[in-house]
Amino acid sequence: MTQLTIVAFDGTRFDINAEPGSTVMENAVRNSVPGIDAECGGACACATCHVYVDDAWTAAVGGPAPMEEDMLDFAFDVRPTSRLSCQIKITDALDGLVVNVPERQG
C-alpha cells in the first residue's frame, strides 16, 4: 500500500492507503473527499477532478500529457502544479504523495 494524502479545500486531511495502480481520483471518490466530482469517471474528459500537486511532489508526479493539458483549460484557477487526479496513477515512487483540492471544480 502507498500512503496518499488529499487535503480538502477546508484543510481537512484525508490520509489514505492507496493501492498501486489506482488513480488519485479513484482514491478521492472512494474516501468521499469533498470537491472531487469526477463526472466522467476517469476518462480525462471533464476536468472536474482537478487537484494541485504539493510542491515537493511535482517532479515525481510529472506534468500532464497533451490530452490532459487540453482538458485543464476547462478547469478553474489552473496553476503550474495543476493535474487531473484521474491521470495520476499511484506507484511505489509516489509513496507519501500530497495533493490539494481547489476551491471549486469547473
In the sheet that 2-7 helps form, which strands lie side by side, from edge to edge? Answer: 13-18, 2-7, 97-100, 50-53, 82-84
Under rule CB under 6 A, residue 86 binds ligand FES: yes
Say whether residue 49 binds ligand FES (CB under 6 A): yes
In the region spanning residues 56 to 75, those forming contacts with ligand FES, defined by CB under 6 A, are 71
Largest CA distance in the chain: 33
Q: Which is nearer to ligand FES, 11 or 18 (CB)?
A: 18
What does the alpha-carbon distance between residue 68 and residue 44 come to, in Å, rounded to a whole number? 6
From residue 1 to residue 40, what is the string marking binding to ligand FES with x (rule CB under 6 A)? ------------------------x------------xxx
Shorter beta-carbon distance to ligand FES: residue 19 or 37:
37
Neighbouring residues of 7: CB distance < 8 A, sequence distance ≥ 6? 13, 14, 98, 99, 100, 101
Which region among 11-19, 45-53, 56-64, 93-101 touches ligand FES (by CB under 6 A)?
A: 45-53
